[in-house]
Structure 1
Amino acid sequence: MRLQQPIYAAKPVDSIKLRITATDVPTSAAVRITDVQLQPGELPTGVVPNPREVGTTPGRWQFRNGVVNPGLTVVALSNADKAAPVRLLVENASGQTTIGSYRFGTLSGSAHADAKSHAATDGWGRAPVVTERQDLTLRTDIENRLHARLMWNERS
């Protein structure tokens, strides 16, 4: 499980002291902290290798789609063995549209961003990449409801 908590500092940070506590844990249970990652910026990303550089082989296509309302976070379930570039397609969009770290700008209709070809019809930013053994979580900042479709080739 990944727990994410943003920390906003009013001035530059010289050092960080981290204390992790668990409360109300039954005596028969155990809590194990295996990894802690701290990183700057507004989006949790972590290390994402370029699929071309790691010598992966494309496999079957994966598709995830649905209607996204303002304020919702998109989670595309995946259990892929290797990272894979994603093609993000938005349809019936109107107004300012940001999905993940990709900012489409003001849309009226459809647009796409493709991480494999590094191409997009509108906007700027980084198109999504499904990371190894992780679900793809994309925060959204949209004005109106839209339809989102995510497509990627599984890699092994």
Structure 2
Amino acid sequence: MLRLQQPIYVEKPVASIKLRISATDVPLSAAVLITDIQLQAGEQPTGVVPNPAETGTTPTREQYRNGVINPGLKIVALSNAGKATPLTMHVRGQGPVRIGSYRFGTLNGPALADGERHTASHGYGLVPIVTERQDLNLDTDITSRAHLRLGWTERE
């Protein structure tokens, strides 16, 4: 497997993307097979994350974590989820807000980013995922205190 990475930086949400893939100087005895292409938002390449609907997992109980976040502090949300699952983040704050790799932009009140439904009221980026059997660790970039509620549905 070969992973080619090329960051693209934009100043506003992307409406569409066109890809043109070409291979040059390939020997006649070789073949190039393109089997999968993954475009991923955010700063960190995390690899393939399975879609819950495709892996045959079933939802179980809902989990919530609430708290006040302060500038310069990391968020740690305890979890012992059996399977990976996307987060929902409700944040209420003022000023620029980034939680994990998701950028809410400059807020003046509440905002929502829903990783399971792929919707957001503000911002852009990759909504964090609670990984299997791991606590959630998120860096923040905020200028003043904010309130955060994380939610997810455990899967088995």
Calculate the TM-score normalised by the size of structure 1. 0.69
Asked if the contact 2:73–2:140 (Cα under 8 Å) also holds between the matched residues in 1, the reply is yes
AA in 2 matched with 1:55: G
Percent same amino acid at aligned positions?
63
Q: Partners in 1 of 2:44 and 2:69 — Cα distance?
A: 19
Tell me which residue corresponds to 1:52: 53
1:37-94 C-alpha deviation (Å, 9 max, x unpaired): xxxx854846532222211100011001110000111111111110111100101x11
Q: Partners in 2 of 1:79 and 1:44 — Cα distance?
A: 23
Alignment map for 1:3-152 (pairs within 5 Å): 43=44, 45=46, 47-91=48-92, 93-152=93-152
Asked if the contact 1:113–1:120 (Cα under 8 Å) also holds between the matched residues in 2, the reply is yes
SS, match of residue 51 in structure 2: coil
1:78-116 C-alpha deviation (Å, 9 max, x unpaired): 11110111100101x111100001000000000010000
Q: What are the ranges of 5 or more consecutive residues in structure 2 without an aligned counterpart?
A: 1-41
Q: Partners in 2 of 1:137 and 1:46 — Cα distance?
A: 18
Q: Partners in 1 of 2:96 and 2:125 — Cα distance?
A: 14
Q: Partners in 2 of 1:68 and 1:45 — Cα distance?
A: 25
- Note closer, same or farther for the CA distance 1:74–1:45 as it changes in structure 2 (3 Å cut): farther
- Note closer, same or farther for the CA distance 1:140–1:123 as it changes in structure 2 (3 Å cut): same
Q: What are the ranges of 5 or more consecutive residues in structure 1 without an aligned counterpart?
A: 1-40
Asked if the contact 2:79–2:136 (Cα under 8 Å) also holds between the matched residues in 1, the reply is yes
Calculate the TM-score normalised by the size of structure 2. 0.69
- Note closer, same or farther for the CA distance 1:146–1:74 as it changes in structure 2 (3 Å cut): same
Asked if the contact 1:80–1:155 (Cα under 8 Å) also holds between the matched residues in 2, the reply is yes
Q: Partners in 2 of 1:95 and 1:45 — Cα distance?
A: 28
